[in-house]
């Protein structure tokens, strides 16, 4: 039976980098994946205005999702100004109620980016709100598992306890798709994101006994199987 996985990032591109290879693997196995960005991530380009980069970021997010076979959503919040309130949490909760994901992937709780930290808080709150018997035409839904993705910007206290093997075809689909995002190519801050996450998958593969793997910290006490056979 196919599953639905919802990956929630602070900015367009966050989950593409960190959870993208795993989403590509799951989609290849028949699962459904939705990538949700809480903000546009439009303030990070040294040469483009936020308005110009916002248009580009949305286009890049849509293209990445299409290339790996996922769905793309973005909330209407500006980079650096994501609120930590029930209005934002309820927007995510409504997506959870409507789409009924078994698994939600998001940021770790500690980060150098406030939007990342707030996204993690909002996801936890949204999970709770979506599970309540409220007067909503979407009903209620309980998310079985929250996973926190391995992100170099969210490293404080992060310890992966789940390794998901990434097969070659999923890796190649992810790599081809992520090349189309300017920040991932190093055109904004100059950081070699694609090289870093490719190397990290190789390192995690050494720990998992496979060629490549993505590491996640499992939220809560139960572990939901992602590794497959």
* Locus of tokens 């949204």: 126
Cα gap 182→185, rounded to integer Å = 5
Measure Cα distances from 28 to 56, 67, 70, 123 in Å: 27, 12, 10, 26
CA gyration radius, the chain: 16
pLDDT in tens, 147-187: 999 999 999 999 999 999 999 999 999 999 999 999 999 99
**Token pair belonging to 173:** 């689909």
Measure Cα distances from 12 to 38, 178, 186, 191 in Å: 8, 12, 15, 17
Predicted confidence at residue 225, as pLDDT, reads 56
Predicted confidence at residue 134, as pLDDT, reads 86
Which ranges of the chain have pLDDT less than 50? 221-223, 228-229
Assess contact for 107 and 117: CB atoms under 8 A. Answer: yes
Measure Cα distances from 116 to 40, 81, 101, 111, 182 in Å: 13, 11, 21, 6, 20
Q: What is the pTM of this model?
A: 0.95
Predicted confidence at residue 1, as pLDDT, reads 75
Predicted confidence at residue 226, as pLDDT, reads 59
């Amino acid at each position: 039976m196919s599953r639905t996985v919802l990956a929630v990032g602070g900015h367009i591109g966050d989950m593409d980098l960190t959870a993208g290879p795993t989403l590509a693997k799951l989609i290849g196995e028949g699962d459904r994946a939705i990538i949700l960005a809480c903000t546009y991530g439009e303030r990070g380009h040294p040469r483009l205005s936020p308005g110009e980069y916002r248009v580009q970021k949305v286009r890049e997010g849509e293209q990445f999702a299409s290339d790996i076979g996922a769905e793309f959503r973005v909330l209407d919040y500006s980079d650096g100004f994501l609120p930590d309130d029930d209005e934002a949490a309820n927007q995510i909760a409504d997506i959870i109620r409507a789409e009924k994901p078994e698994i939600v992937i998001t940021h770790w709780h500690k980060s150098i980016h406030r939007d990342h930290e707030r996204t993690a808080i909002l996801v936890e709150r949204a999970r709770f709100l979506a599970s309540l018997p409220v007067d909503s035409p979407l009903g209620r839904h309980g998310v079985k598992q929250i996973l926190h993705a391995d992100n170099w910007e969210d490293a404080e206290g992060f310890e992966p306890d789940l390794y998901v093997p990434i097969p070659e075809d999923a890796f190649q689909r992810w790599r081809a798709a992520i090349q189309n995002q300017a920040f991932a190519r190093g055109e904004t801050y100059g950081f070699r994101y694609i090289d870093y996450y490719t190397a990290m998958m190789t390192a995690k593969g050494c720990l998992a006994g496979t060629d490549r793997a993505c590491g996640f910290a499992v939220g809560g006490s139960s572990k939901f199987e992602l590794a497959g056979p």
